[in-house]
Chain A
Amino acid sequence: MLQIRAKLIYNKNITGNFFHLTLRAPRISGKCLPGQFISVKVNGPNEPLLRRPFGIHKVKGSDMEVLYEVVGRGTEILSQRKAGEYLDLIGPLGNGFDLGAFSGSRASSSPVIVAGGMGVAPLLFLAQRLRGLRASSPKLRTEVLIGAKTASSILCEKEFKNLGCDVKIATDDGSRGFKGYVSGLLERGLNTGRRPPIVIYACGPRLMLKEISRISEKYNAPAQASLEEHMACGIGACLGCVVNTKKGFERVCKEGPVFRANEIIWG
């Protein structure tokens, strides 16, 4: 963990309330793992008081990218910050995805990425890293399932395709792809045909992750889920962001944000 002043390189609206933010952080970018996050102080002191956590969306050399949605005062202020300004940044934070299943030469399972809404944010970085890991076998495509409310709110489809991923879409209203939740799309895929063992990587709303956890148990496919929780410190000190697990309360910012889905007591 490092605290630095990072230069804001780019901060633009991409669609709807979604923004792309690029920060120059040479001392941090190289240390980041997919699934980890950073925390940013969006402005000066007092108001809003706390830092804001963001999943790492992409890393390119000394730059790191964040994909965020304006949902409140903190992100509203962040969306008004301009290129050339500096932001107080701490990172990298938390534990990322376990890619152990794909680092050996005998890796036999294939990854399936499941993203719901804003959940795509940390998963693009994961796809980027998986591509690097599987570079020696270019035929092994990573499957990516993206869920969105409607066709116009689908995020990152092109970016995943550019990484050579096999992308499938689900929309709540059926305006594109599978009609229904992305978890339903995942289950449909598992129901049909024989397939090699898979590892599921998921990020999205809590109810979606709960559903993924159920599917993961039913089809005996291990799943890792990246959780989101309000955080005060982001560094493990305040014990504010805990989630109920089979081992008791665990900190989303420290033991997480990525957990084995079957370790979480979803309630």
Chain B
Amino acid sequence: MRKKEARLAVNIGKLKLKNPVMVASGTFGYAEEFADFMNLKQLGAVVTKTITLKPRQGNPPPRTCETPAGMLNSIGLENPGVDAFISKKLPILKKIGAPVIVSIASEGDPDEFISLAKRLDKINGAAAIELNISCPNIRGKTSLISQDPGSTFKVVKMVREVTGKTLITKLSPNVTDITEIAAAAEKAGSDAVSLINTLTGTSIDTDTKRPRIASVIAGLSGPAIRPVAVRMIWEVSRKIKIPIIGMGGIMDTPSALEFFIAGASAISTGTANFINPALSVEIISGLKKYLARNKLRDIKELVGTLKS
């Protein structure tokens, strides 16, 4: 008799995912760009490019550059705004058959999170909400909500009070102690945390003495930041009880496995989607093979198994 396949299903708050492999916000557009490369339905979930209340044209180019084993980006949350998102993008996203997690951000006033959450609360196709309180690329901002436990608590609690949907809080690695921030999000009622957003960085063209990214400071992603991400997930997993969605430089199945072992219940592919658009579905089958080889019946048996 054929052996039963290992279980990959996980729950994040009320959200039931058929597998723990998602695609990170800002790295997958609104999914339509990837339809040629995979059956999108296979994905555990799709996290959208971050949506703001009003349309945003984003930052001036150049917006990206390559760095050693990584890249910098400063897109500046270019998006069509919540109304156009709901009327134009969401109908396409709903058709793919994987849960859609809508990433939202404020452009300055934290109350925009409330308006956005209220708006999405009534929308069927939005399976969950991810609070992007950690984008490093909004002009004129010197500090992020996710750089302060008090502000994090306040914003998450405000949103928690206006929506029953699953809430995920996305954390910044640009902090002294990420566990404090994660604990604040948990205490305020977040159903899960996702980490890490990009690390801030700068790259300079020495011939022109100009920054390679117009906004000077940008977000670093890719395999270069993976050890930072894995460390932070390990630290956070020992402090909080809600699930962790891990991301940061996942390039293949072995690197995804590191995140589960460190304590993540689910993972997201990010920058790697730019290089190998079908990576996330490759990881789903890679996880199955790993579990079978290690005689594990459920991915949950792997989570947080770091021997130290």
Contact = CB atoms under 8 A, between A and B. Distances in A.
Tell me whether A and B are bound partners.
yes
A243 B57 CA distance: 11
A3 B278 CA distance: 9
B223 A50 contact: no
14 contacts: A1-B36, A3-B277, A46-B69, A233-B274, A235-B34, A237-B28, A238-B64, A238-B73, A238-B75, A238-B274, A239-B63, A241-B64, A242-B61, A248-B57
Main secondary structure, interface of A, reads: loop
B273 A242 contact: no
A170 B49 CA distance: 46
Nearest to A237: B29
Interface in A228-261: 229-244, 248-249, 254
Interface of A: 1-3, 41, 45-51, 88, 90, 229-244, 248-249, 254
Nearest to A51: B275
A60 to B, nearest CB: 25
Interface of B: 26-29, 33-34, 36-37, 49, 57-58, 60-66, 68-71, 73, 75, 78, 222-223, 251-252, 271, 273-278
B290 to A, nearest CB: 18
B64 A230 contact: yes
B57 A249 contact: yes
Contacts of A237: 27-29, 33-34, 273-274, 277
Interface centre among B37, B63, B65, B78, by most chain A C-beta atoms within 10 angstroms, is B63
Contacts, number: 101
Contacts of B49: 239
A251 to B, nearest CB: 10
A249 B274 CA distance: 20
A41 B33 contact: no
Contact of B71 (A2, A90, A232, A248): A232
